[in-house]
Amino acid sequence: MRILLIILILLLILRLFRKKKSPPDLQPAAMAPDEVHAALETHVSFYKRLDAAGQERFRSRVKHFLDTTRISPVDGVAVTELDRLYVASSAIIPIFHFDDWAYNNLDEVLLYPGTFSKDFDHEAEERNVLGMVGDGAMHRMMILSQPSLRAGFEQRGAGNTGIHEFVHLLDKADGATDGVPEYMIPKALVAPWISQMHRAIRAIREGASDLNPYAGTNEAEFFAVLSEYFFQKPQFLKEHHPELYTILDQVYRR
């Protein structure tokens, strides 16, 4: 009888132990709604600035994004529930004021352990890419470096790789990744935007600008980097580049 009891207890312990260990490719357990709220309020300044009704809408759109988009680890990355919230927040922030918008041009986001080269090879010599929107075989995919995704929300600087890549996706939606998001920008602002953009790119290339030099790469990078400023450091943009701020304010319908 006692032996039976011991076996029973042992079996119970084994069962408990097994339950705790889950295979690494499984999605992490979903957070409770109040945990989601606390995590977003701590790490996502855009969310923190919304009123209660806005925060509720934000959470429901984050949930919808996570229900419809796969977020997959590459090479042993452990994807946490907070990582998933960061990816979803990066996606929702730029389209938050477009009520019924979703990303129909995206199925999956891959999280890499570090930076990677343009051929998605994270062990190649030239590894300076933090995020990328896929083409060709990688069509409908986005790749993000997990450390830069996290840094975008946790370091509170002007940069945010997640937002940057989702802005490229929005720019790409009209068929051309050219710094002019045709579905978002009011028609009357297209010409002023292009001329302001070219003027600012010229200033960056001449070393006469306080903007991140990467924005001077081309129009698409300019739009993505300026959008990072717009959501991360709106006050800086408003004070130092009011003409760009005013246009972006209307692009994002704030």
Binding residues vs Zn ion (CB under 5 A): 221, 224
Place of tokens 């999605």: 27
Place of tokens 């060709």: 136
Measured CA to CA, the distance from residue 89 to residue 58 in angstroms comes to: 8
User: Toward Zn ion, which CB reaches closer, 83 or 221?
Assistant: 221
End-to-end CA distance of the chain: 72
In the complex, which residue's CB is closest to Zn ion?
224
CB of 214 to Zn ion, least distance (A): 8
Contact at 8 Å (CB) between 101 and 95?
A: yes
Beta-bridge partner residues of 110: 72, 143
Measured CA to CA, the distance from residue 142 to residue 12 in angstroms comes to: 43
User: Toward Zn ion, which CB reaches closer, 146 or 161?
Assistant: 161
Measured CA to CA, the distance from residue 125 to residue 121 in angstroms comes to: 9
User: Toward Zn ion, which CB reaches closer, 66 or 109?
Assistant: 109
User: Toward Zn ion, which CB reaches closer, 40 or 132?
Assistant: 132
User: Toward Zn ion, which CB reaches closer, 71 or 159?
Assistant: 159
User: Toward Zn ion, which CB reaches closer, 143 or 224?
Assistant: 224
Contacts of 16 (CB under 8 A, 6+ apart): none
CB of 98 to Zn ion, least distance (A): 21
Which three-class secondary structure state does DSSP give residue 132? strand
Q: Please count the residues of the chain.
A: 254
CB of 218 to Zn ion, least distance (A): 9
Place of tokens 């809408």: 57
CB of 55 to Zn ion, least distance (A): 29
Q: What angle do CA 63, 230, 51 make, to 5 degrees?
A: 50
CB of 205 to Zn ion, least distance (A): 17
CB of 178 to Zn ion, least distance (A): 13
